[in-house]
């Protein structure tokens, strides 16, 4: 692929309401956008790293550094024919999947636009609609949480995920289940527990949860094997799965029965597809995780989720749940059955709104070969 220039841009946007997990509270997003220019077309990508290194090791600042010093020079200096080829030349850069995925995703969008094809089609997707759930953060009170769940259930969302942490777990799940006896319900601990908390997870078995996401350490597989043996509820791994090899090992060893795929965490569409395929081969369902993305990242998540083994509702939801005004047109909307319709325009199918993007940009830099 011949590239003329690549632009990095940081935008800042406040969230409609704070989002709190076991590792902290987010009120304002700092997001890097990547634009790749080639043969008269432009491809768009979004770096999904959080602001600070608390979900994984990446942050908005480390992503800018890794992109500027290591990723962009490689992309300009090494020739490749396809976005998958670009992913291969980025492999020697260890870790920093979200930084790499920002560029890799932009190259997929560019490639799709150059072929005049929707990205979902290039990725091998076939779904016309994406099934949506929501992820609801830790609230000030259980009453606030119940109110939020009520709102999302009536909007049509198919599955509710609540965040848990020590002190906000068993009794909260019990109350939520009491109010909503039949919804698809799950919880996400973001690595807040250790194997010594096994009795908590045994007690959670009673609430018929669809799954428990990432209960133990972010870099662990072994303790999750022990925990999964001890409980009926399926464990879903998020933080622990960085590539298809991790997925294979986690599945073979019985550390989980479900995997959450995040485009950034696994380093881009090429690796995401390999994780998807390895899970499909072992009959392990996957779903699309979220990182509070703005519209470009959200559009990539939709394209990715069209692949056949994305068979559980994901964390990809409507733009308006996050931002007063998103950076794409149309904004992402969810219908009354909790689904997003897949668009068939070239590339990601949604149009980045450059006027809106300019208005929220705090720094931008253009790079040339």
Which residues contact Mg ion (rule: CB under 5 A)? 188, 213, 238
Q: Where are the alpha helices (DSSP H) in the chain?
A: 60-66, 72-77, 83-90, 97-115, 119-122, 142-155, 170-179, 198-204, 222-230, 244-253, 269-281, 295-304, 354-360
Question: 262 catalytic, yes or no?
Answer: yes
Sign, Cα dihedral of 163, 165, 167, 169? positive
Q: Which is nearer to ligand OSB, 3 or 291 (CB)?
A: 291
Give the C-alpha separation, 137 to 146, whole Å. 12
* 3-state secondary structure (DSSP) of residue 249: helix
Three-class HEC string of 253-312:
HCCCCEEEECCCCCCCHHHHHHHHHHHHHCCCCEEECCCCCCHHHHHHHHHHCCCCCECC
Maximum pairwise Cα distance, the chain: 60
Q: Which is nearer to Mg ion, 131 or 238 (CB)?
A: 238
- Least distance (Å) between residue 163 CB and ligand OSB: 7
**Measured CA distances, 39 to 43, 122, 271 (Å):** 11, 19, 26
Catalytic position from the list 2, 262, 281, 355: 262
- Least distance (Å) between residue 141 CB and Mg ion: 23
- Least distance (Å) between residue 258 CB and ligand OSB: 13
Give the C-alpha separation, 343 to 346, whole Å. 9
**Measured CA distances, 84 to 1, 36, 38, 90, 140 (Å):** 11, 15, 17, 10, 44
Binding positions for ligand OSB, rule: CB under 6 A: 21, 50, 55, 135, 188, 190, 238, 289-292, 315
- Least distance (Å) between residue 205 CB and ligand OSB: 22
- Least distance (Å) between residue 168 CB and ligand OSB: 15
Q: Which is nearer to ligand OSB, 49 or 309 (CB)?
A: 49
Catalytic position from the list 163, 229, 249, 281: 163
Token pair 């609801």 is at which residue? 136
Give the C-alpha separation, 90 to 72, whole Å. 10
Q: Which is nearer to ligand OSB, 112 or 172 (CB)?
A: 172
Contacted entry of Mg ion, ligand OSB, none for residue 291, CB cut-off 5 to 8 Å set by kind:
ligand OSB
Contacted entry of ligand OSB, Mg ion, none for residue 290, CB cut-off 5 to 8 Å set by kind:
ligand OSB
Q: Which is nearer to ligand OSB, 111 or 321 (CB)?
A: 321
Catalytic positions, please?
163, 262
């Amino acid at each position: 692929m011949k590239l003329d220039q690549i632009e990095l841009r940081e935008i800042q946007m406040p969230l409609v309401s704070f989002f709190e997990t076991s590792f902290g509270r987010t009120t304002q997003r700092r997001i890097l956008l990547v634009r790749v220019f080639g043969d008269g077309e432009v491809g768009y990508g979004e770096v999904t790293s959080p602001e600070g290194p608390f979900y994984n090791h990446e942050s908005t600042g480390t992503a800018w550094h890794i992109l500027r010093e290591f990723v962009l020079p490689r992309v300009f200096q090494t020739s490749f024919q396809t976005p998958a080829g670009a992913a291969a030349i980025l492999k020697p850069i260890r870790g920093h999947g979200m930084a790499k995925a920002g560029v890799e995703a932009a190259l997929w969008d560019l490639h799709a636009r150059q072929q005049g094809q929707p990205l979902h089609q290039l990725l091998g997707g076939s779904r016309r609609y994406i099934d949506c759930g929501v992820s609801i953060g830790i609230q000030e009170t259980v009453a606030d949480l119940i109110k939020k769940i009520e709102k999302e259930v009536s909007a049509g969302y198919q599955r509710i995920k609540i965040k848990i942490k020590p002190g906000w777990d068993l009794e909260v799940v019990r109350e939520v289940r009491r109010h909503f006896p039949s919804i698809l319900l799950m919880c996400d601990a973001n690595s807040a527990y250790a194997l010594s908390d096994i009795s908590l997870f045994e007690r959670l078995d009673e609430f018929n949860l669809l799954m428990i996401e990432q209960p133990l350490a972010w870099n662990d597989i072994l303790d999750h094997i022990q925990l999964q043996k001890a409980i009926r509820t399926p464990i879903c791994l998020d933080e622990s799965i960085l590539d298809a090899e991790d997925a294979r090992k986690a599945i073979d060893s019985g550390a989980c029965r479900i995997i959450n795929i995040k485009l950034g965490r696994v380093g881009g569409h090429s690796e995401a597809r390999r994780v998807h395929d390895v899970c499909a081969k072992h009959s392990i369902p996957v779903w699309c995780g979220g990182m509070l993305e703005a519209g470009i990242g959200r559009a990539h998540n939709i394209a990715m989720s069209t692949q056949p083994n994305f068979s559980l509702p994901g964390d990809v939801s409507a733009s308006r749940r996050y931002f007063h005004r998103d950076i794409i047109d149309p904004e992402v909307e969810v219908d009354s059955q909790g689904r997003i319709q897949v668009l068939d325009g070239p590339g990601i199918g949604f149009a980045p709104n450059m006027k809106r993007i300019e208005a929220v940009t705090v720094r931008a830099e253009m790079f040339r070969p």
